[in-house]
Amino acid sequence: MFAWDDALEAANISLFRIFARWDAVLASDSIDAFAFKILKDAVVDVLRTRDRRPLPLAALEETVRPIAGIPHDEAEQAALRLDVHRAIAALPDRQRTCVFLHHIFGSPIPEIADTTGLATSTVRSHLTAGRAALAAALRDGPAAKGTS
């Protein structure tokens, strides 16, 4: 989970980067989109430094559960979360951003539109397309994709 200290660090990194590139920020077509990109990159950097990348599925195999103390139900939920994470990561850039902000962060559509510089109708379109792609990817599952 993204903790308060991580969020504060990402915000500080973002503000420093914006300050360092102030002329480029002011010259950009969309200041909001430029700043959002810097913030998104800072969040990724903070998570990488904290080594919070998702565990590989091998870590959830039957032989590992007793050692890690992971109950069977929780391991299945973790595997499902990894499938959802992979499906979201496979979405096109704008769909992924909209789906992540709306469904993971809980941001309302108008706020996403302001942040990304897109029209609210475009955000809705990206959300609809993203949900359809996620439904298809999760319905097919990793095993079904490998057999096609």
**Nearest-angstrom CA–CA distance, 69 and 93:** 37
Please provide residue 92's backbone torsions phi and psi, each rounded to the nearest 5 degrees.
-60, 155
| pLDDT per residue as tens, the chain (148 positions) | 456 777 788 888 888 888 888 888 888 888 888 888 888 888 887 777 765 544 444 444 444 444 445 555 665 666 777 788 888 888 999 999 998 888 888 889 999 998 889 999 999 999 999 999 988 888 876 544 444 3
What does the alpha-carbon distance between residue 1 and residue 46 come to, in Å, rounded to a whole number? Answer: 12
- Start-to-end Cα distance in the chain: 35
Q: Give the CA distances from residue 109 to residues 24, 38, 91, 106, 113, in Å, rounded to whole numbers and listed in that order.
A: 27, 20, 18, 9, 6
